[in-house]
Amino acid sequence: VTLNDLARQLNVSTATVSRALSTPEMVAPQTRERILEAVQKSGYRLNVIARALRTQKTRTLGLLVSDIRNTFFSAIVKAVEDVARENDYTVMICNADEDGRNEDAAMRLFSERQVSGVIHCFAGGNIKGLQHLQAQGIPLVDLDRKSGLTDVDFIVVNNERGASLAAQHLIDLGHRQIGMIAGPKHLSNSRSRLEGFRRTLRQAGIPTSSEQIEFGDFREASGQEAMYRLLALKKRPTALFVANNEMMAGALSVIRSAQVRIPHDLSVVGFDDAHWFQYLETPLTVVAQPVEAMGRRAAELLLARIEQKQGPTLEVFEPRLIIRSSTGSLDKKKTF
Ligand code: RIB
C-alpha cells in the first residue's frame, strides 16, 4: 500500500496523507482521524528515515536519566514517554548510572542522532556536551538536577522545603539527636536538601554535629556504608533523614541486620516515595515528589521549545510529607 493508494481511497491529496503522518497538528482533526484509521487498517508502515530526511526532523526526544534502576527515574521515563506518544514523538532513553562519563557519551549520541530536543537529569557530566547540543539548536530541559547551563528550562521540586518538612516532623516528635544521610555534594538537589535540613535544625536551636551527617552518592551501597558509620557513633542519633530512596534501601538493610527497631530505637524519614513503601512491615514516612507531574511537564516544555512557543522557565513543584509508621515520638526511657 502506498500513500497514493491511500489518498485515492480517501479522496484527499497525497500531501494531506503525508502531513497527517508527519505533522498531524497541521491537518484538521476529523480528516486526520479518517486518515490515521485508514492507514492503520491498510498495514501501511511509515519510513521514518525517509520522513526525517524530508522534514529534517527526527521527532525523537532524547531523555537522559541518572539511574534507570531507581523508581524515581522509571516514573520519569513513563511520564515523558506518555507525553511523547500523545504528540507523535518517540523517546531515546539513555542511562547515566550516576556516572558523568556515561552522560557525556549520551550527549554525543543525542547529537549524532539529531534528536529534536533533550530532557536531561544531570549526573556529573561535562557541560561542554550540553553546550554542543545547544550550539546545534537542540533545545534542552534540565530536570530534577541543575546542569549549570543558563537558558534552559528547569523543572525541579522544592528540595529545601522537602528536607525542612522532614526535619521539622522529627523535631516536632521531640528528637534532638537527628542524623542525616545526604547525597553527593556535586548535585544541586542534594545540596538543597542538606541546606533545608541544616536550616530547620538551626532555626529550632538544635546544633548539627558534623559526625551525624554522612554523605552518600544516591546509590544503595553508599546508604549502607553511611548507616554503618552512624550506628558506630558513641552518641547515635534517635532520628534519621535519608536524602533519597536508594540510600534509604541501603540504610534499612543495615538497620534490620543490626536489629535496631523502627521507630522505637530510631525514627526514619526518607526523601522520595515508592508505591510499595506503604506495604512495608513498618510503612515509611517520606517526603514525596510529584514525579509524574514533573516528568510530564518537562516533556511539555520541551515540545513547546521545539515548536519555539516558549522561552526558558523555572518551574518548582511542591513536595509533600507523608507520615506513616517509621517515625515516632522520642522515647525518653530508651537506653539506645
Ligand atoms: O533517587 C534519586 C534522587 O535523585 C531523587 O531523589 C531525585 O530527586 C533524583 O535526583
pTM of the model: 0.86
What is residue 147's predicted lDDT score, i.e. its pLDDT?
95
- Which residues, in sequence order, are bridge partners of residue 109? none
Residue 217 near ligand 1, beta carbon < 6 Å? no
**Nearest CA-CA partner of 216 in 175, 246, 256, 254:** 246
Residue 189 near ligand 1, beta carbon < 6 Å? yes
Centre of ligand 1 from the C-alpha of residue 296, in Å: 16
Centre of ligand 1 from the C-alpha of residue 206, in Å: 27
Give the residue, out of 70, 99, 217, 222, with the most ligand 1 atoms within 8 A of its beta carbon, to mutate for a pocket test.
70
Residue 241 near ligand 1, beta carbon < 6 Å? no
Atom of ligand 1 nearest to the CA of 289: 8
Query: pLDDT tens-digit profile of 276-324?
Result: 899 999 999 999 999 999 999 999 999 999 988 777 899 999 999 999 9
Cβ proximity of 242 and 271 under 8 Å: yes
Cis before 184 (ω within 30): no
Residue range 95-118: mean pLDDT, rounded = 96
Single-letter amino acid code for the residue at 42: S
- Minimal-distance CA residue to ligand 1 atom 1: 244
pLDDT over 90, % of the chain? 82
Residue range 36-65: mean pLDDT, rounded = 83
